[in-house]
Structure 1
Amino acid sequence: MAREGDTEQGIHGLYKLTGQLTCSQWTPHVKHDEARTILKEALKGLADERSYIYTEGIGIELKIAIANDGSKRFLIPSQLIEYLRYRLCFENELNVSRLPLPSSESFIDVAHYVQITPTAYTNASELSRDMRLFHRHSKAKKKAAADSQEGAASARDAYYEHVRTDYVDAKKGLQKVRYVAIDVESWELDHRVITELGYSQLKFEDEDEIFTPAHIVIADHTAYNNGNYVVDNKWQFKHGKSETLSLRDTRARLRTLLTPIDDEKVVMVLHGAKNDLLSLDILLQLTGRKYSPQVTTYTIPTAIEVEVLDTKRLLGCMGDNLDGVSLIDLCRILKLSMPRGVFETRDYYHNAGNDAYATLGAFKRFAGGLALERHREQLIPSIQAILTPPVEEEGERMEDVL
């Protein structure tokens, strides 16, 4: 580990230069009163032509670091700090032990910046002016980032509560809602070839759940099998009997499925809405449409618009960086298991019917479960356990065993 004085042994880096033209990592570590006073005065006049690190005709040579968000700050090379310390000790007859160098642990991490460029100042007031300007811009960007994060968090909370409120109202009969979870499977070598459509419907009658799972194998494409890159579970539907329908009949079934009956509201539930909607477009022969991961509606050819909910977004309400979680991992996080036969040892995901069933099960856990904060507290341990890769322990060496 780096310690004070490491810079004397050839370890060099860059320190932050603060708004008062001081190296904030240095002064607090100088305990000797006289040395600290001398150091403070020297740091205040860094850009003055009488400064020990001022080069005639050039000025004081610094670095400007630009961060990912565009904010800037001044950096000072450790070599200048070393030379300044040497001159201060020599000119003031100070023992070097009374003016220790800042630790190399205080070096900035250059990986945090997208660009570092050299600069020079011959005028202390100009350097102070630009330093204040950089500081104001940095504060503004941090505030904007904080506001953006707060806004994103607020939007996530609102999305989650909207889903829960609608679900509770539907269950109580305050509104008539039919939830339709859908999954589409395609050929691994050409995703324009749709091979399966799976769906599970949920509606309420007197607060009782009416649950209807289904699985369609598209007859036109039964010759297109997966297995090289994606497991093929086309004939492993675990929640009923698969139907084999033509592409035309499947298209008609989908339209009927998404068409409201009387005054009901249809809500389509997907896991990864963007990709599934593109697959539905292919199935319905729609072209030229694009979707964002935050898509909230889908329009079918009869001009009927249905609401879209995404279980990926619902999981994303639990915290940051959770948008890319697979359906398999989501079910593990929520402790949802796929039905198995007596002698079966594996689950059968990548069957459109099974995946739609699992998607609806995950949706129910969110929509009919705990309030957001309590649900977060409950799920965080599972999220961390399942999504954090295990640390591989180093095995024992043979010579240690023997």
Structure 2
Amino acid sequence: MPTSSPIITGFYRYTDILWEWHQVISDPAEVSALKAFISNASLVDPKNPLRKAGADGIELYVGTLSATGQARLLYSSAQVEYIRYWLHAMGLTKELLPMPSSESLLTTSNLRNHTPVIYKTAEDLKKAVKMIDKNNKRLKGTDPALMSMRQSFERVRTFWGAKVGTWLAIDFEAWEREHTVLTEFGWSCIQWKDGEEICEEGHLMVKEHASYRNGTYVPDHREHYEFGLSQIVDKITFKRMICDMINGFADQGPLFLVFHDGSQDIKYLNSASITAPLNGLTYLLPESAPDTGLYVVDTSDMFAAMEGYAGERSAFVRMANLLKIPTAYLHNAGNDAHYTLLAMKAMASGNQLDVQREERWPHHNKGDVITPGSALKVQFNAWEEEEDYSDTEGVMASSIPHHEVEVATKLMSIDDEEIKDEEMLW
């Protein structure tokens, strides 16, 4: 008894649909109809039937090929099917157009990840194709560590977009002269209920360690928690509250522990002062959204993936500045946890990695001529990496000509003593 063939779903390369699909169609009028539908201008038109209700543009996909790690702009097979049916229903084709060759279909087994991206204008689509091509050339010969970070970045985006689990940023502060003396703990977490975010955060201080003050090597901002009231608890309660928190969230589903370079915080969690329940904790994120488990998400790795540099980790304040996240009273454990989760959310809720990088820092790659193996690293200007960048970027980046920016940057670097020396010359 004959059986029907299973329907295989997946993705088609945007360029294959644009340049190859029409070549299997013999009727010139039908070719014209297809070309008109899939033109960049048509795709971003608010009346295009592929456009989702409420979406501010056309949703396509960016996928990463398993074999090479390179990215491709994609249509879903469902979108391609819909194009065929819509053209036929509108009387623009006599029969349903043939599907593109099955050899060009990419299934999930061919892709490391795939994420939706919204394009608002025809120019956005045109730029996307060029940008992906340039980045693919840069990726050839890329450090495997950076490739791993890029893959993890997209998995974080996927899980966050699916509103899966609990995302818990935590931070400890310890006495600067003896790191086994824990003085503070801060947390900030997000869960979802009926699709809506539920936020919870707080700050604990250890009663017995109140006299152990920082200030020589590390700022002491213990009393400057910005997002609620601090709680002063004894050491036993401090330990119990942290362990109960982790157990409670882990019992509800997958728990993503969010750190910025969390090696020291994980040591604190495993120390005799806490002995947190971290059985099964892993740095490796699964390919699909998990139902259970304990996972590490590190914002320093996420930022390294987006910056395109797997070398020395970026300091938190530098990352926050470049992500345009204002901060206050860092080295308060509660504040640090709050800002860490905010940074993770900013990256995880943004567009696909390469698209997001260009949106955040346009024209920051080195040179226009791209050769295979050239660096992905974003080339920041010196003034962009300063702590007060967010206060000056609007003036310096948009309203001042480039040559005047260079002059202004040099003037900003002159200290008072140099000014006095210059005054003496006059």
Q: TM-score range by the shorter chain?
A: 0.5 to 0.7
Aligned to 2:221, the other structure's residue is in SS state coil
Counterpart-to-counterpart distance in 2, 1:315 and 1:212 = 24
| Alignment-derived partner of residue 37 in structure 1 | none
Give 2:150's aligned residue. Answer: 157
* TM-score using structure 1 length: 0.52
User: For 1:68-217, what aligned pairs fall within 5 Å after superposition?
Assistant: 149-170=142-163, 175=164, 177-217=165-205
Using a 3 Å threshold, how does the CA distance of structure 1 residues 193 and 284 change in structure 2: closer, same or farther? closer
Cα distance per residue 1:269-289 (max 9 Å; x no partner): 0011112111222264559x9
Shift of 1:149: 2.7
Are 2:338 and 1:357 equivalent residues in the alignment? yes
In the other structure, the counterpart of 2:356 is 375
Change (3 A) 1:357 1:285: closer
Matches within 5 A, 1:143-292: 149-170=142-163, 175=164, 177-259=165-247, 260=249, 262-282=251-271, 284-286=273-275
What's the CA shift for 1:257?
Answer: 1.5
Return closer, same or farther for 1:324/1:216 CA change in 2, 3 Å cut-off: same
SS of aligned partner of 1:258: helix
- What whole-Å deviation, never above 9, does each CA across 1:160-206 have from its counterpart, x for those lacking one? 11100000111xxxx4x011100100001111111000000101112
Alignment of 1:21-60 (within 5 A): none
Query: 1:348 is matched with which residue: 329, 335, 339?
Result: 329
Q: Which residue of 1 aligns with 2:372?
A: none
SS of residue paired to 1:237: coil
In 2, the alpha carbon distance for the partners of 1:163 and 1:383 equals: 25
- Equivalence map 1:323-342=2 (5 Å): 323-338=312-327
- Residue type of the partner of 2:207? A
| Cα distance in 2 for residues equivalent to 1:261 and 1:282 | 20
CA distance in 1: counterparts of 2:359 and 2:272, whole angstroms:
39
Mapped contact 1:185–1:194 kept (Cα < 8 A): yes
Aligned CA distance change for structure 1 residues 371 and 219 (closer, same or farther; 3 Å): same
Relative to structure 1, the CA distance from residue 262 to residue 400 in structure 2 (aligned partners, 3 Å threshold; closer, same or farther) is: closer
Identity percentage of aligned residues: 26
CA RMSD for the aligned pairs?
Answer: 3.1
**Which protein has greater RCO, CA pairs closer than 8 Å, 6+ apart?**
2
**Compared with structure 1, are the counterparts of its residues 189 and 305 closer, same or farther at alpha carbon in structure 2 (3 Å cutoff)?**
farther
| Alpha carbons of structure 1 residues 185 and 367: separation in structure 2 relative to 1, 3 Å | same
CA deviation profile, 1:276-335 (whole Å, cap 9, x unmatched): 111222264559x9xxxx9459xxxxxx96211100000010211564222222211111
Contact 1:180–1:202 (Cα < 8 Å) also in 2: yes
1:312 equivalenced with 2:300 (yes/no):
yes
SS in 1 for 2:203: strand
For 1:306 and 1:399, locate their aligned partners in 2 and report how far apart those are by CA, in whole Å.
Answer: 62
Counterpart residue identity of residue 357, structure 2: R
Instruction: Say if 1:194 and 1:283, in contact at 8 Å, map to a contact too.
Output: no
Distance 1:312 1:398, change over 3 A: closer
How far the C-alpha of 1:362 sits from its partner, in A, is 0.3
What is the DSSP-based 3-state SS (H/G/I as helix, E as strand, rest coil) of the residue aligned with 2:229?
Answer: coil
- Alignment-mate amino acid for residue 281 of structure 1: N
Q: SS state of the match for residue 319, structure 2?
A: helix
Is the 2:170–2:185 Cα contact (8 Å) retained in structure 1?
A: yes
Distance 1:399 1:181 in 2: 51
Does structure 1 conserve the Cα–Cα contact (< 8 Å) formed by 2:242 and 2:274? no
Give the structure 1 partner of residue 107 of structure 2.
none
Alignment coverage as a number of residue pairs: 233
Q: Distance in 2 between the 1:352 and 1:388 partners?
A: 23
- Partners of 2:349 and 2:192 lie apart in 1 by 13
Change (3 A) 1:362 1:399: closer
Per the normalisation by structure 2, the TM-score is 0.49
Q: Matched residue of 2:336: which SS?
A: helix
Change (3 A) 1:190 1:320: same
Letter in 2 for 1:374: V
Q: Which runs of 5+ in 2 are unaligned?
A: 1-138, 286-291, 365-378, 388-408
Larger radius of gyration: 1
- Equivalent of 1:386 in 384, 396, 419: 384
Judging changes above 3 Å, is the alpha-carbon distance between structure 1 residues 209 and 398 closer, same or farther for their aligned structure 2 residues? closer
Which residue in the other structure is 1:10 paired with? Answer: none
What letter is aligned with 1:226? N
Moved more, 206-215 or 231-240: 206-215
Cα separation, partners in 2 of 1:399 and 1:329, compared to 1, 3 Å: closer
Aligned counterparts of 1:233 and 1:183: Cα–Cα separation in 2: 14
